Structure 1
Amino acid sequence: MAGGDGLRFAFGTLTVVPVRVTRWDREAARGGMRAAPLVGVAVGAVAGAVGAGLHAVGASALLSAVGAVAVPAVLTRGLHLDGLADTADGLGSGKPPAQALDIMKRSDIGPFGVLTLVLVLLGQVAALTACYGHGWVYGATSAVAGAVAGRVAMTLAARRGIPAARPGGLGAAVAGVLSPRTAWTVAAGCAGLAALAGAGFAGLTWLRFLLAAALAATAAESLLRRCRTRFGGVTGDVFGALCETAATCALLVLSLR
């Protein structure tokens, strides 16, 4: 379990929650990446509650979904979305690894990044619209499951054997801090909890939640392999891209209820 330093590291680096990160060493990073799914629970709970609140006052499923999608962007100050856009620009540039990494460090967003952001946000809104169409409880639960799936992808990317693409930054701070066994145990535990959450609904919904968790991790792992091949490892931007990719994949699966 993550201790106090790990929780402060997780919330202080992955959200805008005013937490004072007192340690920035490998041990704190290890606890922080183990605790990343807890950040997903917190962010997803707020997102789901906002969507549910809008639903309760008569808003359409679409407006409820927009509210739910906006919350993680606000609570992370767009950090993961920015990482997604930068990673898309780096992957789409066709440049050698060093030049691609330089492109990712720039403050502007290129055409690949813009297109990826638009499609991902549209996908998230469309998926949550369908989820809230099944009622606010299902919509809110799906929002939490998607947020957790995104942070599980971060936990998996912090396992040993996955190097940092460059020194410095969040990527270098957390790269390789977890053993593969620990990372996959956290992922399996979160998948089990997702299935348990789905068991509260009728039929085989528990299986849909389990599949959402599994397919989200699979999609993130595919992107991670591509980034390792293309950049030589992970960066903070790659972690953000993995989070958004996994979250979107999970929501898409859950929307097909």
Structure 2
Amino acid sequence: MTLPRTTLRDAWLLATGTLTVVRVPPPGRVDRSVAGLAMVLAPLAVMPLAAAAAAVVLVGGWIDLPPLATAYAVLLTLALGTRAFHWDGLADTADGLTASYSPERSLEVMRTGPVGPAGVVAVVLVAGLQAAGLTAVLRHEHGWWAIALLVCASRSSLALACVRGVPAARADGLGATVIGAVPVVGTVAVLLVAGFAAGLAGHALGSVWPPLVGLVVMAGVVVVLLLRCSRRLGGITGDVLGAAVEVSFAVLVLAAATV
């Protein structure tokens, strides 16, 4: 089945405009088919971010910046390149899951509440894990290339989190449009492509297996997150998608760091 050109264009614009700061025209329409395809295209849509991260690593090497400082510069670049969208989702998800046993109260905290202690701890811990993994990876000669591939591969978590059957906790918002909109075959295809990217990253570092194992672990972690949020909140929200991205990147770079 061939996708209409307008559907593909709208999905690309939605993915790029939502997941990056790249300025693009608004999509002509946003419905379930467009939203689902946008999540499938997410690993490709963030290639500008991947390129920016790779450039930071190369520049850091040229000016002899300490590896840890370069790692945090990469994280800053990725945060600026996404408007810290995913970090906000991670903080809100942590706060919502720890705010109350009431799904309604938890969802209200996630929607309107300021960042609480759980959100701060989650962001600090995940950012620290990402920085630790990146510090080890960028010490490799081809670490810049591996990091770019892992940035793209981490966004495959969006197709997994939005696969059909995953319930939305709210009936409104962009999250409700994309959640459950990706066909199973689309999710499998994205994960296979992500596996190829992870394998290439591992090849650049010296061993394909650690990043591939990391991708499997990443998928397991995302599934656990989805199950937990579905039981506590009655479904997932856009914030949970952001949390999935940041946790996935942490898992992938830590796995790559073991090469």
TM-score in terms of structure 1 length: 0.93
Distance 1:193 1:122 in 2: 24
Query: 2:149 touches 2:197 (CA, 8 Å); kept in 1?
Result: no
Distance 2:230 2:58 in 1: 39
Q: Which runs of 4 or more aligned residues in structure 1 lie more than 6 Å from their structure 2 counterparts after TM superposition?
A: none
SS in 1 for 2:21: coil
Matched to 2:94, the amino acid is A
Matched to 2:244, the amino acid is L
Q: List runs of 5+ in structure 1 lacking aligned partners.
A: none
> What is the number of residues matched between the two proteins?
253
Partner in structure 2 of residue 111 of structure 1 = 117
State which of 194, 207, 210 in structure 1 corresponds to 2:209.
Answer: 207
Distance 2:170 2:87 in 1: 20
Distance 1:60 1:145 in 2: 22
Cα deviation, residue 177, structure 1: 1.2
Mapping of residues 8-157 of structure 1, within 5 Å:
8-22=13-27, 23-135=29-141, 137-138=142-143, 140-157=144-161
Query: 2:198 touches 2:208 (CA, 8 Å); kept in 1?
Result: yes
Structure 1 residues 107, 149: closer, same or farther in 2, change over 3 A?
Answer: farther
Matched to 1:115, the amino acid is V
SS in 2 for 1:164: coil
Query: 1:212 touches 1:250 (CA, 8 Å); kept in 2?
Result: yes
Cα deviation, residue 201, structure 1: 4.1
Q: Give per-residue Cα distances to partners, 1:55-78, cap 9 Å, x unaligned.
A: 122111112111111111001111
Q: Give per-residue Cα distances to partners, 1:112-167, cap 9 Å, x unaligned.
A: 000111111111111111112223x22x2332233223311111111110111001
Q: Percent identity?
A: 36
Cα deviation, residue 170, structure 1: 1.9
Partner in structure 2 of residue 238 of structure 1 = 240
Structure 1 residues 216, 144: closer, same or farther in 2, change over 3 A?
Answer: farther
Q: Give per-residue Cα distances to partners, 1:160-216, cap 9 Å, x unaligned.
A: 1011100111210101111112112211121023213422443xx111221122222
Cα deviation, residue 107, structure 1: 4.5
TM-score in terms of structure 2 length: 0.92
Distance 1:124 1:201 in 2: 17
CA root-mean-square deviation: 1.6
SS in 1 for 2:208: helix
Query: 1:155 touches 1:183 (CA, 8 Å); kept in 2?
Result: yes
Cα deviation, residue 21, structure 1: 2.0
Matched to 1:74, the amino acid is L
Answer with 227-236 or 190-199: which moved more. 190-199
Partner in structure 1 of residue 253 of structure 2 = 251
Distance 1:143 1:106 in 2: 34
Distance 2:81 2:113 in 1: 20
Distance 1:225 1:148 in 2: 24
Query: 1:123 touches 1:248 (CA, 8 Å); kept in 2?
Result: yes
Query: 2:53 touches 2:147 (CA, 8 Å); kept in 1?
Result: yes
Q: Give per-residue Cα distances to partners, 1:215-242, cap 9 Å, x unaligned.
A: 2222111111111111111111010001
SS in 2 for 1:3: helix
SS in 1 for 2:163: coil
Distance 2:30 2:10 in 1: 9
Structure 1 residues 41, 213: closer, same or farther in 2, change over 3 A?
Answer: farther
